[in-house]
Amino acid sequence: MASAAPPTSLVRRASAILYRRRGLRLFLLLGLPVLWLVGVYGGSLLSLLTQSFFRLDSFAGTIDRTPTLATWRDLFTGANMAVVGRTFTMAASVTIAAVIVALPLAYYIARFASRRTRAWMILAVLLPLWSSYLVRVYAWKLILAAEGIINWFLTRIGLGPVLDVVLDLPVIGGPSLSTSYLGQFIVFLYIWLPYMILPVETALERVPNSYLEASADLGAKPLTTFRRVVWPLAIPGIAAGSIFTFSLTLGDYIIPTIIGDSSPFIGLAIYSQQGVAGNLPLAAAFSFVPIAIMTVYLTIARRMGAFEAL
Amino acid sequence: MRSKLIVWLGVIALVAAACGDGGGDGASELPTEIGEGEGQVNIVAWAGYIEDGSTDPNYDWVTTFEEATGCQVNVKTAGTSDEMVALMTGSTEYDLVTASGDSSNRLIAGGTVQEINIDLIDAWDTVDPRLQDAPWHTVDGKHYGVPYEWGANVLAYNTEVFGDTPPTSWSVVFEEQTLPDGESNAGRVQAYDGPIYVADAALYMGVANPYALSDQQYQDALNLLRGQRELVGRYWHDAFIQIEDFTNEGVVASSSWPFQVNILQASGAPIASVFPTEGATGWADTTLMHSSAPNPNCAYMWLNHSITPKLQGDLAAWFGTVPAVLAACEGNELLGPDGCNTNGLGSFDQIKFWQTPTENCLGAGGTCVPYYKWVTDYLAVIGGR
């Protein structure tokens, strides 16, 4: 049986084996990433979530590892569902506000800024992300404090009563900006804004100038052009940015600790249940909630084309 | 073929992850001597309890220890007893914990801490006799820790707001009222965010033992706390954030520790504290050792160091506590001759020290509300329910 002269050097032999065995090639290329994704990430998530089927032996603070649904029943009580509702409302309002703030800025960066200005503006948007998250939140705590600079400035220009009226509003007001939902909302909005601006800017960049010119030629006023041409094309970018603002607000536990009136949010509830109560099963059950909400949200976002704009 | 490969890799990984749950529990017999230091000791402590001079160079009782024994001290601060319990039960990396009475019994019952051989504690006899066999660290005649310091949860208030009429009752934080400066106290007070605070509400209502509450007393306390929720701007958890709130947020009154009051006064803030007429809850802290402490020898060395009179006096001056070693009250520069009295030495019998409420009313008979209900209900109260 005639065959070609067999390759002699090690490298050539290895190369030949890899060429022939597709499975081995795949294993070597994908093995480690899949191991990380499924093993480390998926495995740790799974081991956390299985905790939710245990319950806490309250006096000694140890976990009783017999499978039970008691912890899930604890999750669906009024107090805990109020936490979910509160977090969801905050996440939704932050997302909507982020869209309203980000859209004009992204539109300017994408359509009107020159090449160089665009680079500097993107840099400016990203600059806060270079500093520590905690430092920024503590800075806002000082800014929003009753003796902070916002209060001082408004009093100086005579708008003190306006601030008082705002703080007297029923749900969102409070003794000071720093201990109210309004203050929390402002800080959340500030922290997540870069994550909304960038995807929207990317989506708007992709709108060809010819579309806008054609729309004007057909007799559309600028507002109509925006409504019928630009907005539908921006939606994938908005959906992509909203994934960030929504999911990050759902899980955050640092901002509600530092700003606000100590009302628990989902992240804070998980942190308290695990840290204060030592109740890891209930914390694990709570963790299911943002996962479930985000699964639904991501399915909707995918339909709206968010994944192409990321 | 490709998907099958991924599935197999995933299965292997999941099995490996699930099987990786080792957990040692060392039920060792009592050590009979202190061996060579391991080079470090890890302590879970309240903020301000273990100072190495970095906050204020005058207050440093760590550097001399590290130089003498070669054991590097690593501190993990915790804000509440529950956090301490969670840290100690959740890992085996900590050696010691300065636990209050409401966490020490839980740690002992759960087997998380080990019995201490008091023969290895040279100065054991100098410890205040009232604390030597206290029920929160001595169970069945076995000692599980070395007493550290004790003190009260005082009422801290703003002297400018109260002027000539300082508060004398906890009502300023529990009930809506107009303060001497003409404004309501709503939104200007704080409360502790640890569930043990339910005892403070019970104490204000006049219950004899605020840690053994009947159902009716417990419900009344919860209703009082729900009313308080309307007045509280923010619940405090971290001592340093509360210090900032007193300075920047216009907080006028709150339950607090002498630690915050001392720091505020040192920085010139108009804050003072008072021991109200209804009494106060307090804490008698004990240093306990983890049952699987990675550095037991350094831990015993620290236990011995913790009851040296200089440390005890310095800590009492810094935090505003009373030492467990009464000899420390004399001859300490930082504490001064009157320091122990100022910090409440004479009030030992009036303070209701933190304990973990149990179903059997702490052994007194009858049925009481156990601590896990306190936790769930208090977290709900903070959430507005």
Q: Is the pLDDT of residue B215 over 80?
A: yes
Question: Over the stretch B316-363, which tens digit does the pLDDT of each residue have?
Answer: 988 888 999 988 888 888 888 888 888 888 888 889 999 888 888 877
B27 touches A: beta carbon within 8 Å: no
Given this model, what pLDDT does residue B362 score? 78
Residue B220 scores a pLDDT above 50: yes
Are the CB atoms for A79 and B385 separated by under 8 Å? yes
pLDDT of residue A67: 86
Decide: residue A173, CB within 10 A, 0-12 exposed, 13-18 middle, 19+ buried: buried
Token match 């599935």: residue? Answer: B7
Does residue A6 carry a pLDDT above 70? no
Instruction: Note the pLDDT tens digit of each residue in A131-140.
Output: 999 999 999 9
Report residue B26's pLDDT band, with 50, 70 and 90 as the boundaries.
very low
Inter-chain CB proximity B82 and A275 less than 8 Å: yes
ipTM of the complex: 0.74
Which of the 8 DSSP states describes residue B33?
A: S
pLDDT of A121 higher than 50 = yes
Three-state SS string over A179-200 comes to HCHHHHHHHHHHHHHHHHHHHH
What angle in degrees, to the nearest 10, is found between the helix axes of A231-251 and A280-303?
180
- Which residues in B80-97 are b (16+ Cβ under 10 Å) and which e? bbbbbbbbbbbebbbbbb
Check if B270 contacts A (Cβ < 8 Å): no
pTM score, whole prediction? 0.79
DSSP element (H, E) containing A8: none
| Structural tokens at position B56 | 């204020």
| DSSP H or E segment with residue B224 | helix B215-229
Over residues B261-286, the mean pLDDT reads 92
- What residues in B contact A272, CB-CB < 8 Å? 379
Q: What is the mean pLDDT of residues A102-126?
A: 92
Of A43, A47, A174, the CB nearest to B187: A174
pLDDT attached to residue A305? 73
DSSP class of A108: I
Share of chain B above pLDDT 70, in %: 93
176-195 in A: which are within 8 Å (CB) of B?
A: 176, 178-179
Q: According to the model, what pLDDT value does residue B371 have?
A: 85
* pLDDT score of A5 more than 90: no
CB-CB under 8 Å, B248 with A145: yes
pLDDT of res. A60: 57
Which residue among B85, B247, B382 sits closest to A262, beta carbon to beta carbon?
Answer: B382
Interface membership of A155 toward B (CB under 8 Å): no
Q: Which CATH architecture has domain A70-126+191-309?
A: Orthogonal Bundle (1.10)
Q: Which residue of A has its CA nearest to B385?
A: A79
Cβ-Cβ pairs closer than 8 A, A with B, add up to 154
What distance lies between CA A121 and its chain's CA centroid? 22
A132 close contact with B: CB closer than 8 A: no
pLDDT attached to residue A188: 96
Which residues in chain A are contacts of B107 at CB distance < 8 A?
Answer: 61
CA B256 – CA A221 distance, rounded (Å): 63
Helix (H, G, I), strand (E, B) or coil at B234: strand
Q: What pLDDT sits at residue A51?
A: 86
Which of B19, B102, B372, B373 should we substitute to test contact with A (largest number of A Cβ atoms within 10 Å)? B372
How high is the mean pLDDT of chain B? Answer: 88
CB atoms within 10 A of CB B98: 25
Q: Would you tell me which residues 62-81 of chain B have a C-beta closer than 8 angstroms to some C-beta of chain A?
A: 80
What integer best gives the mean pLDDT of chain A? Answer: 88
**E-only strand ranges, chain A:** 55-57, 62-64
Confidence category of residue A143, pLDDT binned at 50, 70, 90: very high
**Test the B interface: residue of A54, A262, A271, A274 with most B CBs within 10 Å:** A262
Are A88 and A266 contacting, i.e. CB atoms less than 8 angstroms apart? no
Distance from CA of B117 to the nearest CA of A (A): 23
**Contact flag A147-B247 (C-beta cutoff 8 Å):** yes
Phi and psi torsions of B174, nearest 5°: -100, -30
- Least confidently predicted of A155-169, B25-39, B62-76, B269-283: B25-39
Residue B192 CA to residue B237 CA, distance in Å, equals 6
CA angle centred on A279, ends A273 and A280, rounded to 5°: 95
- Phi and psi, residue A223, nearest 5°: -65, -40
The closest CB to that of A23, out of B1, B12, B249, belongs to B1
The vertex-B44 CA angle with B38 and B49, nearest 5°, equals 105
pLDDT score recorded for residue B379: 85
| Nearest C-alpha in B relative to A36 | B13
Reported as a single tens digit per residue, the pLDDT across B121-172 is 989 999 999 999 888 899 888 999 999 999 999 999 999 999 999 999 999 9
Q: What is the DSSP letter of B46?
A: E
Cβ distance B109 to A56 less than 8 Å, yes or no, reads no
Q: How far apart are CA B13 and CA A49, in angstroms?
A: 17
Alpha carbon distances (Å) from A154 to A151, A160, A186, B92, B233: 5, 5, 17, 52, 21
Instruction: Please give the Cα distance from B274 to B322 (Å, whole number).
Output: 16
Q: Using the beta-carbon criterion (under 8 Å), do A59 and B109 form an inter-chain contact?
A: yes
pLDDT on residue B22: 39
**The pLDDT value given to residue B13:** 56
pLDDT at B229 over 90: yes
Question: How many beta carbons lie within 10 A of that of residue B119, not counting itself?
Answer: 11
Q: Do A179 and B356 lie within an 8 Å CB cutoff?
A: no
Contact in structure between B195 and B186 (CB atoms under 8 Å): no
State pLDDT tens for residues B284-312: 999 999 999 999 999 999 999 999 999 99
Q: Residue B8: its pLDDT value, please?
A: 67
Q: Does B17 score more than 60 pLDDT?
A: no
Estimate the crossing angle of helix B2-19 against helix A22-34, to 10 degrees.
40
Taking residues B110-122, report their average pLDDT. 90
Is the predicted pLDDT of residue B114 greater than 80, yes or no? Answer: yes
CB B94 within 8 A of CB B42: yes
Rounded to 10 degrees, the C-alpha dihedral A302/A305/A309/A310 comes to 0
Both tokens of B333, joined, read 């520069």
**pLDDT score at B21:** 44
**Is the CB of B193 less than 8 angstroms away from the CB of A58?**
no
Q: Is the pLDDT of residue A2 over 60?
A: no
Q: What is the pLDDT of residues B53-87, one digit of tens each?
A: 888 888 999 999 999 999 999 999 998 888 898 88
The pairing of beta strand B280-290 with beta strand B351-353: parallel
- For residue A12, give the amino acid letter: R
The confidence score (pLDDT) of residue B19 equals 47
Give the domains, in start order, of chain B with CATH numbers: 2-151+283-353 (3.40.190.10), 152-281+359-382 (3.40.190.10)
Chain A, 38 to 97: residues with Cβ < 8 Å from chain B are 38-40, 42-44, 46-47, 56, 58-62, 74, 78-79, 82-83
Beta strands in A38-83, from DSSP E residues, in sequence order: 55-57, 62-64
